[in-house]
Amino acid sequence: MSTHQKTGKVIIAGAGPGDPDLITIKTVKALAQAEVILVDRLVSEEILHRYAAPTAQIVYVGKQCRSYGTTPQATINELLVEFGLLGKQVVRLKGGDVSIFSNVLDELQALVAHEIPYEIIPGITAALGAAAYAGIPLTARQHSTAVRFLTFYTYSKLTDGYWQELTQTEDTLVFYMSSERLGEVVEKLTRHGISEEKQLAVVEQATTPLQHVHVSSLYDFEQNLAGKTFVSPSLVIIGKVVNLHQEFKWFTNNPTREYYFKPVSEQVSLVLQ
């Protein structure tokens, strides 16, 4: 790591779940002043076209499961530190919100260890965007009074006892990064006796023009959705509130099987030499 006298600042900001209009005004202002922008894969290109300064250096640091070009978290940390120590004004732009399943802790620890000033700007997380654009209130009287954000990705510490508790709760369950293992999620919930009143919704590419919502009862999952490959990113909502989708859906399903967010292998960065 190089040694520099000038210290910059890193702003860690959420870009929202996809629709570029869902970005916050504060993040827009930060992008306009940024000299360097480190961008996740799940950030709309339109945001950069609209709001990034023309002179800003764009560095793509996206991650995508089993894909060539995925950026290791250690590399992202090193870039944040390097640009910060060069005295640059940096925006670390993350999809959704910065504090929900985003590895923000690793980045904060790296900045603190090198005494680099930072700021955190929240964004609309995927669960809120997906629920709103699917017409599914995450909490609603007589349906749910609380919501839980979970993941069942490559590894999970959820015990059988916890799965049992999840089947009994009236909370809405929202699973991030879990669509590839959705069959396992459904099997665990149905095996532990989850209520037949509860349904699941899979929201593909939420809030984008390519959004598509799939709804099924958990006990009919094998018949309706088993073996289906969902377009990334996909978010899963489970609970009685999903029953409200049919009545309150307002955003048209798009059956196109295309990616709104470019695969990491197609993103080209200008990186620090």
Cα-flanking dihedrals φ and ψ of residue 101, to 5°?
50, 55
Going through the chain in order, the beta strands assigned E by DSSP cover 9-14, 36-39, 57-60, 89-94, 118-121, 147-151, 172-176, 199-204, 212-217, 234-239
DSSP state of 253: P
Q: Residues 26, 63, 240, 249: which is the catalytic one?
A: 63
248: left (phi over 0), alpha (psi -120 to 50) or beta: alpha
Phi-psi region of 16 (alpha: psi -120 to 50; beta: other; left: phi over 0): left
CA atoms within 13 A on the CB side of 269: 21
Nearest to 27 by CA among 84, 101, 95, 82: 95
Query: Do the beta carbons of residue 264 and residue 41 sit within 8 Å?
Result: yes
Active site residue 220: no
Indicate the DSSP class of residue 87: T
DSSP letter, residue 251: S
| Cβ atoms within 10 Å, residue 181 | 17
Active site residue 97: no
Q: Which of 9, 19, 40, 88 is catalytic?
A: 40
- Provide the residue type at 126 as one letter: A
In this structure, are residues 185 and 175 in contact, taking their beta carbons and an 8 Å threshold?
Answer: yes
Give the residue numbers marked as catalytic. 40, 63
